[in-house]
Amino acid sequence: YRAPLRLGGKVFDSGRVSSSNAEALGQTLEAFRLLMEVQDVVHYRACATSALRNAENRWKVIDAVESISGIHVECIDGEEEAELIFENFKHFGLDDAQDLLCVDVGGGSTELSLLRGTKRIAWSSFQIGTVRRMNQAVDAAEWKRMERFFKENLGSNEVRVAGTGGNINRFHKLARLKKSEDLSLAKLKKWVERIRLVPLEQRSTKFGLKSNRADVIVPAGEIYIAVLKLAGLDSVWVPKVGLSDGIILRLVSTHHPDASRKH
CA distance 84 to 260: 15
CA distance 120 to 97: 14
Every domain range in the chain assigned CATH 3.30.420.150: 78-242
pLDDT interval class at 7 (50, 70, 90) = confident
Instruction: Pick the more confident residue, 21 or 97.
Output: 21
> Quick one: which H or E segment has residue 62?
helix 58-69
**Chain-wide mean pLDDT for the chain?**
91
- Alpha carbon of residue 97 to chain centroid: 26
pLDDT for 82: 86
pLDDT for 260: 57
**Helix and strand element counts for the chain (H, E):** 14, 8
Fold adopted by 78-242: Nucleotidyltransferase; domain 5 (3.30.420)
Every domain range in the chain assigned CATH 3.30.420.40: 8-75
Question: pLDDT by residue (tens digit) across 10-47?
Answer: 777 788 999 999 999 999 999 999 999 999 999 999 99
CATH number of 8-75: 3.30.420.40
104: which residues sit within 8 A by CB, 6+ positions away?
A: 81, 82, 85, 110, 111, 163, 164, 165, 242, 243
pLDDT for 54: 86
- The DSSP secondary-structure symbol of 91 reads G
Question: pLDDT by residue (tens digit) across 110-137?
Answer: 999 999 887 889 999 999 999 899 888 8
CA distance 219 to 262: 39
